[in-house]
Amino acid sequence: MRLIHLIASEDPSQTHHWLLPETAEIIYGGISSLIIFAAIYKFGLPAAKKALNARTERIQKELDGATNALSSATQEASNIRAAIGDIAGERNRLVAEADQQAATMLTEGRARITAEVAELEARGDAEIAAARSRSSDELRGEISLLASAAAQRAVSASLNASAQQELIENFINSVGAAR
């Protein structure tokens, strides 16, 4: 049995207690842990605080930027809404102005057309009067030709040769006397 005990004490996988490690391991492990914790406390904790503060500042800047963007967008939206109201008012003003111009053009067009119709009627009346005068003159001329031809036939039929000869001589004498 003693041999088993000696072999067990020399076996590094075997310890004096089933739960606790060897005393030297506890001392060296404890000192090592204290050194590591001190190094983390001295170097790691300020770096972690600095990183967290930088992250907090970055998030705060993003929040401030978002707040500024929101207020800017709200202002732009109100400007756009005001501009839309202005656009509607401007559109109404332009439509009213166009209606007024259309009414003016319609009135002027009607007056111009009325004046042109009156001018055309006057010109037509003048052309009718001129045509009436021309046709009357032509009719008088034709009537005088027909009357002259009829008178000549009537005179020739009623005059004998001696009366006709006497008329011709009287005419020649009166033309000669007039010179």
171 pLDDT band, cuts 50/70/90, is: confident
Q: What is the pLDDT of residue 132?
A: 86
Predicted local distance difference test score (pLDDT) of residue 12: 62
Q: Mean pLDDT over all residues of the chain?
A: 84
Q: Is the distance from CB of 167 to CB of 160 less than 8 angstroms?
A: no
User: Higher model confidence: residue 70 or residue 140?
Assistant: 70
Residue 11 pLDDT class (50, 70, 90 cuts):
low
What does the pLDDT read at residue 167? Answer: 78
* Mean pLDDT, residues 43-60 taken together: 94
Q: Which comes out higher in pLDDT, residue 115 or 8?
A: 115
pLDDT, tens digit, 9 for 90 and up, residues 113-134: 999 999 999 999 999 988 888 8
**Is pLDDT larger for residue 91 or for residue 175?**
91
Which residues have a Cβ under 8 Å from the Cβ of 11 and sit 6 or more positions away? none
AA letter at 71? S
Q: What is the CA radius of gyration of the chain?
A: 68
The predicted structure's pLDDT at residue 140: 81
Residue 13 — φ and ψ, nearest 5°? -80, -10
Confidence of residue 35 (pLDDT cuts 50, 70, 90): very high
Q: How far is CA 1 from CA 54, 149, 176, in A?
A: 66, 189, 202
Tokens of 2: 């003693």
pLDDT of residue 61: 95
d(CA 53, CA 61): 12
Please state, in angstroms and rounded to a whole number, the distance separating the CA atoms of residues 81 and 1. 100
pLDDT of res. 1 = 47
